[in-house]
Amino acid sequence: MRILGVDCGSRITGYGVIDSNGAECCFVRCGAIRPRPSDPFVNRLKLIHNSIVEVIRELQPEAAAFESLFYSSNVQSALKLGHVRGVSMFAAAEENLPVFEYSPLEVKSAVTGYGRAEKLQVQQMVRVLLRLETAPEPYDASDALAVAICHAHTNRYNKTVAAHL
């Protein structure tokens, strides 16, 4: 199964694509969408949406996984992040991909075994799990790969449980 992971951000939105047979994950591509901060916010949203659609059309994932919203004391930042998640999820839905969400705790636990892991720990475990020579950069791209890996592991677990019911 080919999985697109997305780490949404209003400044940088990371994406990562992996292939998984349920037991192992294989790196396909990762990157970062970097809208110009000087552009109007609506134009940044449009760029993020169009870039996600482009990745989907080019790499043909079968599912899209997103990190769910975390609690923020800065309301303005949380609203902007919500808009970015909305256009990113819409891009996946528009391309007929099933959309899945995982909490930051679930993602970190799936990749590092510890739900409060630091970004560097997540990045290094992504490198190890995908057998990469160097750690994927920026952190937004490695976080997106971590979300995709989390979905691969969760999807495998859910299929195993369903098979035994």
What stretches of 68-157 adopt beta strand conformation (E)?
99-102
The answer to whether residue 137 is catalytic is no
Q: With contact defined as beta carbons under 8 Å apart, do 106 and 149 qualify? A: no
Q: With contact defined as beta carbons under 8 Å apart, do 25 and 42 qualify? A: no
Task: Tell me which of 19, 24, 39, 140 is the catalytic residue.
Answer: 140
The answer to whether residue 94 is catalytic is no
Q: With contact defined as beta carbons under 8 Å apart, do 107 and 117 qualify? A: no
Task: Tell me which of 7, 19, 118, 137 is the catalytic residue.
Answer: 7
Task: Tell me which of 24, 67, 106, 143 is the catalytic residue.
Answer: 67
Closest CA to 95 of 44, 54, 46, 126: 54
The answer to whether residue 67 is catalytic is yes
Active site residues: 7, 67, 140
